[in-house]
Amino acid sequence: MNGFSRTKYTARAQRNNRLATIGFYTLGALVMLLIFWMLFTILSKGLPSLRPDFLIKNTEEMDAGGGIGPVLFNSFYILFISLLISIPLGIGAGIYMAEYAPDNKFTGGLRICVEALSSVPSIVFGLLGLAIFAEYFDVGLTILGGGVSLALLNLPMLARVTEEAIRAVPGEIREAGYALGMTKFHVIRTVVVPVALPAIVTGVCLVAGRAFGESAVIILTAGLSTSGEMWDFNLFSPGETLAVHLWYVQSEAIVEDAKQIADKSAAVLVFVVLLINFAFRFPLWLGNRRRGR
């Protein structure tokens, strides 16, 4: 390549680089604007009229002025049950697939199955939970059934995210630990997992937000009603959640203030999902600040 051709190639490459930079910045700005527009649209309709008593009052079927107290509690309760099951199993399965599972056809097939389950519609897991709890064990529509079904829904995604996060850790870090005489489990626990923790926390945030906002699974496994009590810890009580209540109020309710209840419920739902993400990420941010990153 002569000097003229090299100069022409360099100028074209720089021009393409500038165009690509402008394009990616534009796409990023459009995505951010879309997200902020969606948040503003949802929150601006519900937050101005939201009052603290709305969060603790019971729901109403016929009269205006109902709240979301029991369904909000059920949402957190079912979310806690699902995370209590899915986090240790999902993260453990991801660590096994990344660190212990042999690289053979069986493991490859298992990985494909996990990826396929991650994309299965949630209503399929709802039907599975319905068959297990309502038909096989004959316990009806319960909080327990909703929590376990949500855990089954989120297990494949959490396991896959964990596996990818563990595999992304550089091999040199593991070799350094082995050189110091550490065992495999000790390396995983004290070196690999802490390095991969931000990506794992991202996966937990995704499944937690998905679980809190899920409706199809809850309708089929926990029902469309509550026990009527604000703090009902009975695992075999019906467990309508905030997402299900929002769907019901928007489409089926006959109360005169259904639109206002739906707007306020949507604002609370979005705000809680944002709060869940902040609650999981804040300890990581605080730890990074302390380490001076």
Q: What is the mean pLDDT of residues 227-244?
A: 90
> What is the per-residue pLDDT for 13?
82
List of domains in the chain = 52-290 (1.10.3720.10)
> What is the per-residue pLDDT for 5?
63
> What is the per-residue pLDDT for 72?
93
> What is the per-residue pLDDT for 9?
67
Express each pLDDT in 240-277 by its tens digit.
Answer: 999 999 988 888 777 888 889 989 999 999 999 989 88
> What is the per-residue pLDDT for 147?
94
pLDDT tops 80 at residue 41 = yes
Express each pLDDT in 112-151 by its tens digit.
Answer: 888 888 888 899 999 999 999 888 888 889 999 999 999 9
Task: Calculate helix-pair angle for 122-129, 143-167, nearest 10 degrees.
Answer: 130
pLDDT > 90 fraction of the chain, expressed in percent and rounded: 44
Determine contact, residues 288/201, Cβ cutoff 8 Å: no
> What is the per-residue pLDDT for 241?
93
233: confidence class by pLDDT, cuts 50, 70, 90? very high
> What is the per-residue pLDDT for 167?
92
> What is the per-residue pLDDT for 25?
95
CA torsion sign, 264 to 265 to 269 to 272? positive
Q: If we measure between CA atoms, which residue out of 245, 251, 241 comes closest to residue 210?
A: 241
> What is the per-residue pLDDT for 150?
94
Express each pLDDT in 4-22 by its tens digit.
Answer: 566 766 778 888 889 999 9
Q: 178 versus 78: which is more confidently predicted?
A: 78
Mean pLDDT score of the chain? 88
User: What does the H/E/C string look like for 59-92?
Assistant: CCCCCCCCCCHHHHHHHHHHHHHHHHHHHHHHHH
Weakest mean pLDDT among 41-55, 161-175, 278-292:
278-292
> What is the per-residue pLDDT for 29?
95
Q: If we measure between CA atoms, which residue out of 262, 268, 266, 260 comes closest to residue 249?
A: 262
220: confidence class by pLDDT, cuts 50, 70, 90? very high
> What is the per-residue pLDDT for 148?
94
Which two tokens mark 159? 């396991």
